[in-house]
């Protein structure tokens, strides 16, 4: 239950009424719920109006004023703002009544909170910022609509804390989040005490077993990896969901790079499998995510017209590349240097490849590109690597993956513990989102790289710092 504090100023009543669908709100069926949306929720997901099931939604007029500032631009947040405003205009019709506008069958209604104030908070919220006006509108809505439980939904941690200090229920937008990072699919399971006969058969040609011959492995999903052990013997296998077979994985080298652990073997197998078109790799810094992806791309270069490398300018498209001198390649070079560093590692490991890599760069068969210009493209026969994908929103990841044309393979890599986006965390970022939604699909494979291989110092720093 939320408690309202103080009184509100006179002003027009909430104008558009919304319904919402948060599953994290404490179950309370005594009152209908009214969710008040902050601007950052809309910029994160333009379709948020339709994510709240049967509950009502309200948008403070301040939010519309802020969205008006994001109408023009090419980045994802500008797209989200335009999409939301168009949807709102269509739903509202010609005139909106005081009862609000319906969102659709099975959904609630929405309203715009007009000129609401909460004067008793003026001595506490002294600055007249947009966040404070949104908070005051939500607090005033508690008095205006006593028949509702009012919940403020915002991705701004500070604003949530301020709301809670006033006794107002405040929550993050959880539609595209998993509950805990520990619940995220890792792509690997370990089984001990596997019958020695099964391991022996997997080492014999063709290195395959059907699930009936390996009953110890329960409910495998497509492209899931397994470490099967019997005492000192072990074997690495992956499950093919189409053929419904377990297949042994060999420790192969790619472009001079040899896997140093089981997870890297799983990664190289998925990266070089022509039937797998989307690969996600997660792991701490120094675990070899980007290096594995680049090595596999160069090893498979004959199957693709082009290899594209990209990483978000953090946050994606928020920093104007025009502030840096030079052409587009000069502008993005500081941000893409980590990719160039990995190319240098490959040149060192495979000295015969130096001229090949340089020739591919000169011919633009190997190209480093900014993600800012990916919208609208159709990538054919392309091996597309997106590094630092944990700094992408779910909508940005969808935009990237849907660029895939015929014969294209997309690889998303990232460290879920190193997120620089102000409104994303380890459970709500685009990389986590795509892993959670795509697991079990025969076109997707995921591997969590657990061990650092960069250096002893890097491994120690990752564990202790």
Per domain, the residue ranges of the chain are: 33-171, 182-464
**How high is the pLDDT of residue 247?**
94
Work out the pLDDT band at 348, boundaries 50, 70, 90: confident
> Taking residues 317-327, what's their average pLDDT?
53
Which ranges constitute the DSSP H helices of 188-288?
196-203, 262-272
The answer on pLDDT for 212 being more than 80 is: yes
Asked whether the CA dihedral 74, 80, 81, 87 is positive or negative, the reply is: positive
The answer on pLDDT for 18 being more than 60 is: no
Q: Which pTM does this prediction carry?
A: 0.75
How far apart CA 16 and CA 156 sit, in angstroms, is: 23
Nearest to 347 by CA among 369, 371, 366: 366
Say which residue, 340 or 210, is predicted with more confidence.
210
171 bridge partner residues: 153
Class of domain 182-464: alpha beta
3-state secondary structure of 191: strand
The structure tokens 């409910």 sit at: 219
Query: How many angstroms from the chain centroid is the CA of residue 196?
Result: 41
**How high is the pLDDT of residue 39?**
94
**How high is the pLDDT of residue 421?**
80
Which of 104-118, 137-151, 235-249 has the lowest average pLDDT?
Answer: 104-118
**How high is the pLDDT of residue 369?**
80
The answer to whether the beta carbons of residues 152 and 138 sit under 8 Å apart is yes
Burial classification of residue 322, based on how many CB atoms lie within 10 Å of its CB (0-12 exposed, 13-18 middle, 19 or more buried): exposed
Rounded percentage of the chain residues whose pLDDT exceeds 90 = 43
- Residue by residue, DSSP assigns 344-383 as HHHHHH-GGGHHHHHHHHHTTSEEE--GGG-TT--B-SEE
Say which residue, 182 or 441, is predicted with more confidence.
441
**How high is the pLDDT of residue 438?**
95
Q: CB 209: neighbour CB atoms within 10 A? A: 20
CATH entry, 33-171, from 3.40.50.1010, 3.40.50.10490, 3.40.1410.10, 3.40.30.10: 3.40.50.1010
Work out the pLDDT band at 331, boundaries 50, 70, 90: low
> Taking residues 322-338, what's their average pLDDT?
61
Structural tokens at position 142? 């508690």
Equal fold, 33-171 vs 182-464: yes
Distant-in-sequence, close-in-space partners of 150: CB < 8 Å, separation ≥ 6: 2, 4, 33, 34, 36, 138, 141, 142, 168, 169
The answer on pLDDT for 179 being more than 70 is: yes
Work out the pLDDT band at 17, boundaries 50, 70, 90: very low
Q: Phi then psi for 163, rounded to 5 degrees? A: -60, -45
């Amino acid at each position: 239950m939320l408690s309202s504090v103080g009184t509100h100023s006179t002003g027009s009543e909430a104008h558009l009424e919304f319904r919402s669908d948060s599953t994290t709100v404490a179950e309370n069926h005594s009152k209908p719920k009214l969710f008040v949306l902050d601007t950052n929720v809309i910029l994160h997901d333009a379709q948020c109006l339709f994510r709240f099931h049967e509950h009502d939604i309200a948008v403070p007029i301040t939010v519309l004023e802020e969205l008006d500032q994001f109408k023009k631009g090419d980045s994802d947040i500008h797209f989200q703002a335009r999409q939301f405003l168009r949807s709102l205009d269509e739903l509202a019709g010609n005139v909106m009544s005081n009862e609000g506008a319906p969102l659709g069958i099975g959904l609630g209604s929405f309203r715009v909170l007009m000129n609401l104030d909460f004067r008793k908070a003026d001595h506490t919220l002294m600055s007249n910022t947009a966040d404070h006006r949104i908070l005051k509108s939500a607090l005033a809505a508690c008095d205006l609509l006593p028949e509702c439980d009012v919940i403020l939904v915002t991705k701004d941690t500070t604003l949530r804390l301020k709301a809670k200090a006033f006794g107002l229920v405040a929550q993050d937008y959880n539609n595209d989040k998993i509950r805990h990072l520990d619940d995220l699919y890792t792509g690997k399971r370990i089984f001990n005490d596997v019958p020695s006969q099964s391991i022996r058969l997997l080492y014999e040609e063709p290195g395959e077993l059907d699930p009936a011959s390996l009953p110890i492995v329960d409910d495998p999903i497509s492209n899931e990896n397994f470490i099967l052990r019997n005492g000192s013997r072990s074997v690495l296998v992956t499950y093919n969901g189409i053929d419904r077979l377990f297949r042994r994985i060999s420790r192969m080298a790619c472009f001079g790079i040899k896997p140093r652990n089981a997870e890297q073997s799983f990664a190289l197998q998925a990266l070089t499998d022509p039937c797998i078109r989307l690969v996600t790799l997660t792991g701490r810094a120094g675990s070899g995510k980007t290096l594995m992806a680049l090595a596999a791309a160069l090893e498979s270069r004959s199957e693709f017209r082009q290899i594209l490398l990209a990483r978000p300018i953090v946050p994606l498209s928020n920093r104007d590349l025009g502030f840096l001198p030079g052409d587009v390649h000069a502008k993005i070079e500081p941000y893409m240097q980590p990719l160039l560093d990995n190319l240098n590692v490959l040149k060192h490991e495979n000295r015969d490849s130096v001229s090949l890599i340089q020739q591919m760069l000169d011919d633009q068969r190997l190209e480093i590109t900014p993600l800012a210009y990916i919208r609208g493209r159709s990538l054919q026969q392309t091996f597309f690597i997106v590094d630092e994908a944990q700094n992408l929103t779910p909508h940005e990841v969808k935009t990237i993956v849907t660029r895939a044309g015929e014969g294209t393979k997309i690889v998303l890599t990232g460290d879920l513990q190193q997120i620089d986006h102000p409104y994303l965390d380890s459970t709500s970022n685009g990389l986590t989102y795509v892993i959670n939604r795509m697991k079990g699909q025969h076109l997707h494979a995921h591997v969590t790289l657990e061990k650092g291989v960069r250096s002893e110092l890097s491994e120690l720093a990752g564990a202790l710092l």
